Structure 1
């Protein structure tokens, strides 16, 4: 019986829960002995000219080993994250430390190196910076007017545009609905803040980073530091969460290599939580206008999405996100006519980066809100509107208006499954009863059907190495780096399935560019389908090498050998056998295989979510009652891991719909700079999730798997938002922007009373 598909508990957890993980701040590497603590001086203003920086008082403080400003840093402008959005316009380049102008609250202006962290905080307070305030641009509508420019030399705040609109798109539609929607700015706020350490050994530098992709960080450091690959080593030990915000090297981390070289000592940086909330990249931040048209029977004929993406103060990955949104513009629907446009603008706010889903949740949130708006206008049940317009099974592979080709799908089956599991008809009857009674507590039912693109950077592939050691244990090297996903467990299962070796004898190593020079990392729900497929194929190659070697040693045909309980035996004569250890010891060139796996194109997992909420019409308070979901991510290797990913994703998606938002005042001051002000969701606000699974295998990889790490976030957000709006729809409310806080819900009710 194969281990694949069975419930295997995470092999990582005993170490993490008992001995504790080894995170960057825990490192006791001899190379970091005597490391200086790095503290950044950050701008308190959103937009200002720097007129003077006086570091003299800070330099005199005991324990201070150095104070540096932008004038002291002879590095080229910071290279954009992963290069995915291409180089920023020359006029919008980002310095490692602000020199003449600061453009957001939290931008690094100076850096202090001290013997202790406390000394660093004291010294940073003594760095005196004189500013000449400038008018800030906080809202994207103001940014589009170009009346105040963040980069005067650029002549505009617009960093890029894409797409075209068809003037005749809605010709022939009986019903057309338009609505502006806010997909608000969010903070990733991982449990482990950003951390980094750096040490030089001769002309080679090693950086320890809390990051999602060591090899990509190394490549970015090559560009930032002007060093060849062999002179940079990046190590990512245990990482306490990332959610996309730890993709690529940060400007602070890149600066550490320069600082360590300048002072001749190792250095270490651990940001504070308040720093993290204002300086780590934020996510989402799209203003959308949806327009949907069709027939009164609920058939959608045309759909348009107009996007204005806030990229924050400097264009980096945020400028790339609308591309993913436009890829997935029509979601799971077969809509005859679709167009979309996007504009990206800089504002005096924290730069935008990836956040769980990275552009794809924004697409689903828009089209699913549009479907509910269309249903309300036509009077057709929201479930029926969806069913009528879903892509049908016989249409796969399906070419979309966004330029994608969906590999497989059973969208109608998924929708029907979630409706049946939730007892949709009974919910609607209960809702009708409460409405007829005029109850204060009204029931809301929200639907969302989604499809997401996973492994979107599939052409880069992923690496896998499987090696049998002389003692019969297995070493697995992978280019993907976990930060909570359970790579060790899933990859060990793949190896065990092929080689019959116990999980406890399989070691999975990641996140070290000296050991694994080639790799891409963990992002875009790519790890299992690319990294896992590479490990699987490497294990298959090792198995075939072992079969050939065993046949030579025993002097029989390969066909007469069978692998039973981790031992190579002669079929019918089990006493004639060789163990993995014996084979490894007798393999002249070792028993190992390296595989680089690439898919022809991305995969497209899908599903349907149904959320049930109760809204107090007198106060606007929302009580989140149920969440039922059907997700299809192809073949499931380990239900324990996929359920964990789904739980976390649904929680984060619901949090966006109900509570979370990073906001700024008119002067660009962040209003949620501490955890006391940023409304995280907790277990107390969440119901027990009801998870159903479908399996539609893909043919694009040998495992038949698709990604599932972001599915929950993509489907949950619009389902919960739709549920809140649905609860008060009978009062005339058609839309409430996220987060649907009690105040917003109450105001929406009052506006229609």
Structure 2
């Protein structure tokens, strides 16, 4: 049963199915996104259009703005020359002489290189949005083309360098010099495989959008982002102004998935244009711009080497990572996180990891749902299936023999990571039972024996991920009407924070969910916060709200006692009715509004909650697929998951997060891929070419419940937002390979499109006939 929050629900406990409070507005009048803003300050805003490079790699030799400036309705045309007074862009690293290396400019000017298609060269301001593209076309830019560098392998060859003075396309590397071949040389069985975790686009429903206004003293920026405070810090550093001179406001956000963490260079340039012009400007990118210039995800080339015994014990594992950073390294965490999470759910005594980060003439790569953890899981789960096939054991049995046992927690892995809690065999058993695994294997054997055209595949993935870590802020206030206001550092992009935080407050203070308001994403109201990413909201932001509400209750207690004429120890808050009363006299009480009046004003508490460790959610996914061996088409028949993120506050929200994640994971496995030609030109700059997943491509997901608490936070919860993405991709990947194993297919890379699957079948058939 789902509780209707509008009816005044009080004190819902964990596990209560409460309707999303946000949905009534979103489904009726609609949300207010950046492009919807109709505030007085933006009434006469100029519209931004970027002039972007059509080439993946070239030197800008001329930028002529004269014709554009002469066009009616033009407010300004800005180029890199206009940015000369700004601080130098921060380097990804510095040379020994202090020279900035791998730095990314806001606009690329004459004598500088563009390094991916869509890189901004100039910025046009027009009075009309629709005049912008016409004016941008009048900006004449000449280029001297250079060879493109597409993909990690080409970057490592180093025949063309993207950054002069570096001598290399490798922006970062670690630990590869520590590899030891002995554990593999002495092993009974060794399997090796190069695994491509291909580049994908984030494709939020709402693309990037920014509006800004300045009076010369203060800059206000509205931006579609996952954290206002990081935006403000980045803007202050880029513009060379104090943070106090900037206010950032985050309205409704139509999806982030990591690509909207902070603020990127296009949006900084928009804010600078407002600062420079001392006026108002606004920008909302087109879908083509989004697919060209918004940061993208994954893009790793992984080489796995796994050693073990003929009895199925894994003795050593090596994961060598090459991370494609795109044109500019925007983050230093993806490859290190992949390496830290390399062993997954397995007790492997020897784990070796190392990585290289390379630059290529493609869109920059940054965090995307899971950010390093899906890549680690995809690598180890494929490696385990390859190992099982090599020794002739069921992949389920190989996993059982190598799981970290539940009694070993907290467990320190060979890569130094502390897992808090887990029971990996239990979640695997759940999905196997629901799937009726033995029956599926029997049906698969029957199809193979009859040489059925449609092959059946069963794929398994068991995962652990790392979420949270660090801290978050919250302030809870009860006002004179007995209503509650929550200021939270967590910033929602569809997760349902209004609902979750209202449930926590209702549970602690006994107020109706409908009497709680939640505010986020305004640096004037919430100057210190971290924001939403890495599945951190409930465990950190929620814990902060929980503690702040408890502190409000404690601060109210003496006022309630004085009002009722009893000792503090003799007064209690009934969270079902929301009234304070003496312990022995439940019929004599006082409402919150009376207590606040006695206190002489609102009762508030502000908290910054910090977790000592990250948490480690885990789960198991099982995919059942059919593959038409004549066409290569894959159909997902069933997808079963047991995702354990600790106690579930609201199943409605948890299930929504899991469903969205599974959809994205299956999409990566089967459909989605950012592709370029050999000149670095994107071939997927429209949704029709990209292949985003749609509802008819997916089955109804079968979601099993598992709840293992953590001791890292007072709620006992872990992150849920990325779990579905992490487990589903390797499960589907393994299922397709499993469907084709009897035909001689050992491995094929994602996405498992019909043409790729058909080609693998044809190649295996030719090899078998040739043999």
TM over 0.5: yes
Q: Which residue of 1 aligns with 2:6?
A: none
Query: Does the Cα contact within 8 Å between 1:50 and 1:131 map onto a contact in 2?
Result: yes
Q: 623-632 or 166-175: which moved more?
A: 166-175
Distance 1:428 1:261 in 2: 65
Of 187, 195, 198, the match for 2:209: 195
Query: Does the Cα contact within 8 Å between 1:94 and 1:314 map onto a contact in 2?
Result: yes
Distance 1:502 1:89 in 2: 58
Distance 1:65 1:29 in 2: 21
Give the TM-score of the pair, scaled to structure 1. 0.97
Query: Does the Cα contact within 8 Å between 2:564 and 2:581 map onto a contact in 1?
Result: no
Q: What's the CA shift string for 1:460-496, capped at 9, x where partnerless?
A: x000110001111100000010001001100110000
Query: Does the Cα contact within 8 Å between 1:550 and 1:568 map onto a contact in 2?
Result: yes
Give the TM-score of the pair, scaled to structure 2. 0.95
Q: Which residue of 1 aligns with 2:636?
A: 624
Q: Which residue of 2 aligns with 1:105?
A: 117
Q: 101-110 or 247-256: which moved more?
A: 247-256
Of 366, 378, 381, the match for 1:368: 381
Query: Does the Cα contact within 8 Å between 2:173 and 2:354 map onto a contact in 1?
Result: yes
Cα deviation, residue 570, structure 1? 2.1
Do residues 679 (structure 1) and 679 (structure 2) align? no
Distance 2:91 2:675 in 1: 25
Distance 1:263 1:517 in 2: 26
Of 618, 630, 647, the match for 1:635: 647
Q: Which residue of 1 aligns with 2:4?
A: none
Cα deviation, residue 80, structure 1? 7.2
Residues 556-705 of structure 1 mapped to structure 2, 5 A cutoff: 556-564=566-574, 565-588=577-600, 590-705=602-717
Q: Which residue of 2 aligns with 1:442?
A: 455
Report the secondary structure of 1:676's partner residue.
Answer: helix
Unaligned runs of 5+ in 2: 1-10, 766-771
Of 382, 385, 388, the match for 2:401: 388
Of 539, 548, 559, the match for 2:549: 539
Residues 193-592 of structure 1 mapped to structure 2, 5 A cutoff: 193-317=207-331, 319-455=332-468, 458-459=469-470, 461-564=471-574, 565-588=577-600, 590-592=602-604
Distance 1:214 1:577 in 2: 42
Q: Which residue of 1 aligns with 2:83?
A: 73
Distance 1:71 1:234 in 2: 27
Q: Which residue of 2 aligns with 1:36?
A: 46
Query: Does the Cα contact within 8 Å between 1:454 and 1:605 map onto a contact in 2?
Result: yes
Cα deviation, residue 335, structure 1? 0.7
Cα deviation, residue 119, structure 1? 0.9
Cα deviation, residue 590, structure 1? 3.1
Cα deviation, residue 60, structure 1? 1.1
Of 5, 15, 33, the match for 1:5: 15
Distance 1:218 1:183 in 2: 33
Query: Does the Cα contact within 8 Å between 2:670 and 2:750 map onto a contact in 1?
Result: yes
User: Following superposition, which runs of at least 4 residues in structure 1 exceed 3 angstroms of deviation?
Assistant: 77-81
Q: What's the CA shift string for 1:678-726, capped at 9, x where partnerless?
A: 1011110100000011111001100000000000000000000000000
Q: What's the CA shift string for 1:575-631, capped at 9, x where partnerless?
A: 432111111222236311001000110000000000000001111110110000111
Distance 1:59 1:153 in 2: 36
Q: Which residue of 1 aligns with 2:58?
A: 48
Distance 1:449 1:672 in 2: 32
Distance 2:537 2:400 in 1: 32
Cα deviation, residue 394, structure 1? 1.0
Distance 1:80 1:267 in 2: 28
Report the secondary structure of 2:182's partner residue.
Answer: coil
Query: Does the Cα contact within 8 Å between 2:345 and 2:404 map onto a contact in 1?
Result: yes
Q: 137-146 or 725-734: which moved more?
A: 137-146
Distance 2:414 2:213 in 1: 50
Distance 1:679 1:77 in 2: 39
Query: Does the Cα contact within 8 Å between 1:77 and 1:94 map onto a contact in 2?
Result: no
Query: Does the Cα contact within 8 Å between 1:245 and 1:282 map onto a contact in 2?
Result: yes
Q: What's the CA shift string for 1:184-220, capped at 9, x where partnerless?
A: 0000010001000111134111100000000111111
Report the secondary structure of 2:165's partner residue.
Answer: helix
Q: CA RMSD in A?
A: 1.3
Q: What's the CA shift string for 1:160-204, capped at 9, x where partnerless?
A: 001231121314311101011100000001000100011113411
Cα deviation, residue 79, structure 1? 4.0
Distance 1:124 1:54 in 2: 11
Query: Does the Cα contact within 8 Å between 1:76 and 1:95 map onto a contact in 2?
Result: no
Q: What's the CA shift string for 1:423-462, capped at 9, x where partnerless?
A: 100000000000000000010000000000001xx23x00
Query: Does the Cα contact within 8 Å between 1:308 and 1:343 map onto a contact in 2?
Result: yes
Residues 20-169 of structure 1 mapped to structure 2, 5 A cutoff: 20-74=30-84, 75-79=86-90, 90-99=100-109, 100-163=112-175, 164-169=178-183
Cα deviation, residue 89, structure 1? 7.2
Cα deviation, residue 573, structure 1? 2.7
Distance 1:37 1:130 in 2: 25
Query: Does the Cα contact within 8 Å between 2:334 and 2:372 map onto a contact in 1?
Result: yes
Q: What's the CA shift string for 1:228-268, capped at 9, x where partnerless?
A: 12111110000000000000111111112321122221000
Report the secondary structure of 2:225's partner residue.
Answer: coil
Cα deviation, residue 77, structure 1? 3.7
Report the secondary structure of 1:740's partner residue.
Answer: coil
Query: Does the Cα contact within 8 Å between 2:324 and 2:358 map onto a contact in 1?
Result: yes
Q: Which residue of 1 aligns with 2:768?
A: none
Unaligned runs of 5+ in 1: none
Distance 1:241 1:736 in 2: 31
